Amino acid sequence: MAADVSSRRWVVWLLLTMALCLSCAEAGRGQVPVKRRLEVQRHLRRLNKRAVRSIKSPDGDIIDCVHISHQPAFDHPSLKNHTIQMRPAFHPEGLQFGENKVASQKRTPPLSQLWHQHGRCPKNTIPIRRTRRKDVLKASSIRKYGTKKHKSIPNPLSVDPDLLSESGHQHAIGYVEGDTYYGAKATINVWEPKIQQANEFSLSQLWILGGSFGEDLNSIEAGWQVSPDLYGDNNTRLFTYWTSDSYQATGCYNLLCSGFIQISSEIAMGATIYPISRYGGSQYDISILVWKDPREGHWWMQFGNDYVLGYWPSFLFSYLADSASMIEWGGEVVNSEPDGEHTSTAMGSGHFPGEGFGKASYFRNIQIVDDSNKLRTPTGVGTFTEQSSCYDVQIGNGGQWGHYFYYGGPGRNSNCP
């Protein structure tokens, strides 16, 4: 009997030793711990809703056509009984300004998203880019996946000499402040800037801002970005972002959390924009409008002339529940200072503003929405950049482009070590 018990103990010890060795081998091969793997699986089930149809994009993305009432927004407890608003009560007056103007000397086809080459989503669904396991695993935590770092907003009013080193983000922007704003519009030149390291990104966007630049900042953002960490490649992608507490606990990119309510079946947040501009060649741009519906109070987004994408419900915000106090347009990069040097991650086209059309990136027909729900040209546009030798901005005015500016740069160079 004693020998039998001893034998069983030996077998149990052997099995535990083998399990421990397997765990060590998994860790040595970079395998994901079981607990984290389960957390990621649960998170993916929350993000990747059941699809009516799935479309494989040429770039490898899977676009899931999800019923409009099953989208991630409705995971928010305050939206459980929300009635979807299928169109804004009002568009801003004067929307025709600058529309359908040809930006390039060459005739070019209209922009689309790459997944359109393989199909479209049916009526009453919205296209959602499927989140992959490997994308989530790149994040330092589940909570931080799909979020920006705290203090990444460009503050042109700051005189803090530690601003640059504190945030690790650099900007080249035009901005207006000192009034109340109810939206903004711009046409943005589309490029595919080079990214030096996967943990860096380069984007071009507009910011709708309310509150201070402290812990309570409200922000709505939209534009294009290249972010290997977020998307797993270097493609140029349409994106949105929102936060009501300066990127601390609220908000996210695209539809990676509950908040933004999408109504369009045509455009996928986070999907690749196609085609893109080439240095000295054809130029492409996208038009983005964000405005506050004066009746319902929600913040709406329109892409191009034809696609109203959806809205951010006003209850998500504190200051922006009323109006914005600053509008910004421009570029942003992450400078992680690899090897103690400035990053060579490019902004815009990767060329300085002085090179002009076809070589430097631009924002044109920048406008704001006033308290009468009218689009108008902004007054007193300022510019801001932390290091003009790395990334710069130059404004102009006149002709079909209205108020415009060229911006960007290559990052590290002989004047930006």
Q: How many CB atoms lie within 10 A of CB 222?
A: 25
Question: What is the token pair recorded at 197?
Answer: 């390291």
Query: Which residues have C-beta within 8 Å of that of residue 151, sequence separation ≥ 6?
Result: 166, 167, 169, 246, 247
Query: Which residues have C-beta within 8 Å of that of residue 299, sequence separation ≥ 6?
Result: 183, 208, 220, 290, 291, 292, 293, 311, 312, 314, 317, 320
> Could you confirm whether 332 is annotated as catalytic?
yes
Say how many Å lie between the first and final Cα of the chain, rounded: 77
- CA gap 282, 276 in Å, rounded: 8
- CA gap 288, 290 in Å, rounded: 7
For residue 367, report the phi and psi dihedrals to the nearest 5 degrees: -145, 160
> Could you confirm whether 177 is annotated as catalytic?
no
CA-closest candidate to residue 78, choices 295, 255, 316: 316
- CA gap 401, 330 in Å, rounded: 16
Q: Do 277 and 189 contact (CB within 8 A), yes or no? A: yes
Task: Quote the strand ranges of 215-315, DSSP E.
Answer: 218-226, 237-243, 252-253, 261-262, 273-274, 285-292, 299-303, 307-312
Length of the chain: 417
- CA gap 78, 76 in Å, rounded: 5
Which of 332, 341, 355, 386 is an active site residue? 332
- CA gap 392, 352 in Å, rounded: 6
Question: What is the token pair recorded at 322?
Answer: 């009323």
Which of 221, 266, 328, 355 is an active site residue? 221
Q: Do 317 and 210 contact (CB within 8 A), yes or no? A: yes
- CA gap 189, 292 in Å, rounded: 24
Active-site annotation, residues: 221, 332
